[in-house]
Amino acid sequence: MIMKDNIQPTQGELEILQILWKKGPSTVREVNELLNQDQEKSIGYTTTLKIMQIMFEKNLLSRNDSQRTHVYLAEVREGNIQSALLDRFLNAAYKGSASKLAMHLLGNHETTPDELAEIKALIDKLEKNKPS
């Protein structure tokens, strides 16, 4: 049985994953430029390189090194990582009370009518599947 539970990318790793999830396979330079353009941060090229190399060793990323310039690819799924992080966050900050988190979430953040409808539809579905 392959254990894949201990995935917990760091903050910096997560930012790089976000870019790869959105853009698909990318070079270190491309990732570094996006990191620097997004915010006002200024991250050196070799810093980004180093982190991506570490992520490669951790199997968070794979890479095609048939060319001189390596092309990196996210090896983990966005949804999987999000769920894993959510789980940790839920326990750390809300002691596992999903509904309390949901209340804060809906109360504090703008949500479009479509999104609200979508969530309500999911709740209806959950209520039907588990009427006991």
Partner DNA sequence: CTTAAAATACGAAACACTTCGTACTATATA
Partner DNA sequence: TATATAGTACGAAGTGTTTCGTATTTTAAG
The binder of 109, among its own copies, DNA, none, by C-beta within 5 to 8 A per type, is its own copies
CA distances for 39 relative to 36, 55, 90, 103, angstroms: 6, 22, 27, 30
Sign for the pseudo-dihedral over CA of 132, 122, 85, 27: positive
- 89 lies in the site for its own copies, by CB under 8 A: yes
- Chain-centre distance of CA 107, in angstroms? 23
Which one, of 43, 6, 4, 5, lies nearest residue 15 by Cα?
43
- 12 lies in the site for its own copies, by CB under 8 A: no
CA angle at 87 for the pair 47 and 28, rounded to the nearest 5°: 20
Residue closer to its own copies (CB basis): 65 or 117 = 117
Region binding its own copies by CB under 8 A among candidate stretches 12-20, 23-31, 48-56, 67-75:
12-20
- 25 lies in the site for DNA, by CB under 7 A: no
Torsions phi, psi of 70, nearest 5? -70, 145
Contacting residue, 23, 46, 65, 126, with its own copies by CB under 8 A = 126
Contacting residues toward its own copies, per CB under 8 A: 11, 14-15, 18, 79, 81-83, 85-87, 89-90, 92-95, 98-113, 115-116, 118-120, 122-123, 126-127, 130
